[in-house]
Amino acid sequence: MLLSKFFLTVVFGRIVMLELKNISFEVTEGDKEIDIIRDLSLVIENKKFTVITGPNGSGKSTLARIIAGIEKPSAGKIILDGEDITDLSITDRAKRGIGFAFQQPVRFKGIRIIDLLRLASGRELSVASACDYLSEVGLCARDYIRREVNNSLSGGELKRIEIATVLARQTKLTIFDEPEAGIDLWSFQNLIRIFEKMRDGIKDSSIIIISHQERILEIADEIILLADGEIKERGSSAEVLPHILGTEAAMAPCSRWK
C-alpha cells in the first residue's frame, strides 16, 4: 500500500499534489451531448503556482469545478496525494485540504469578518491571528475585523477577505476561479501583489488560478493552455506567454476596463 501511494504521488521525480486521469465532462442540450472536457490528463506538482488559461468556452472553469467537487466528471479519476477522490463530495474534498474561491465571493449578511475567518479556520481563532490574516491581504484589521460581510463591501474588499479566509484555512490546494472578475483596476493591482506574496510563500501546498489576465500569467510557475476542452500547451510563463499574448487566453491588464 505504501509503495502504491509513493508511486502515485511521485511521477518522474516530481512530487505530485494532484493528478487528473483521462477526465471527460459532457452536458446534454436537447438531444445533443456536448463535450466540455475531453479525455484530459494533468499533473499538478506540489509547491507550484499554476495558471490555467484559454479562450471563453475552453472548459477552464468547468475543470476547476471538477477538481473542487462542484461538478462530477463523466469519466476519469482525480487523485489527491495518492488518494482517489473522484467520488468525494465538495465537503469531503474541503476536509482533505482543497479550497475553492468563486468568481463572485458570497456576501453573508449578519456575519462579521472575524466570525467568517473563525469559521474558515475551523478553530477558535484569536483576534490577533485574524488581524494578521487581514493584514496579509492588505486590509487594515482595525477597520474591518468587526464589519459584516454584506453589501457595504466592494468587490475588491470581498476578494481580499475571501483570500484571507483561504489563508486562515491553510489549504493544501487552493483554486481561484477568475479572481479578477467584478473588481476595478486598483483592486486588481492589489490582487496581483497578494498573489505574488502567496506564490513566494508557498510551502507544502499548491495554487491553481483560472485566469486569462496577462499580469497573473506573468507570475505563474506554469501556464496550462486549454482550448476545446483539451490541453494545447503547457510550460513556464516564459515559454508559453509569448505565444498567446494578444489572444483571448492572455488579455492585457486594462483590456477588461475599456
Class in CATH terms, 49-73+84-253: alpha beta
Please report, for the chain, how many H helices and E strands are present, in that order.
10, 13
Strand stretches in the chain, DSSP E: 10-11, 14-29, 32-45, 49-53, 75-80, 83-84, 98-101, 108-112, 148-149, 173-177, 206-210, 222-227, 230-235
For the chain, give the number of residues: 258
Q: What is the pLDDT along the chain (258 residues), one digit of tens a residue?
A: 333 343 445 544 457 689 999 999 998 888 888 899 999 999 999 899 999 999 988 999 999 999 999 999 999 999 999 999 999 999 999 999 999 988 777 777 788 999 989 988 888 888 898 888 898 888 888 889 899 888 888 888 888 888 888 888 888 899 999 988 877 777 888 889 889 988 888 888 899 999 999 999 999 999 999 999 999 999 999 999 998 998 888 877 655 544
What are the boundaries of each domain within the chain? 49-73+84-253
Structure-block grid coordinates of residue 4: 502504491
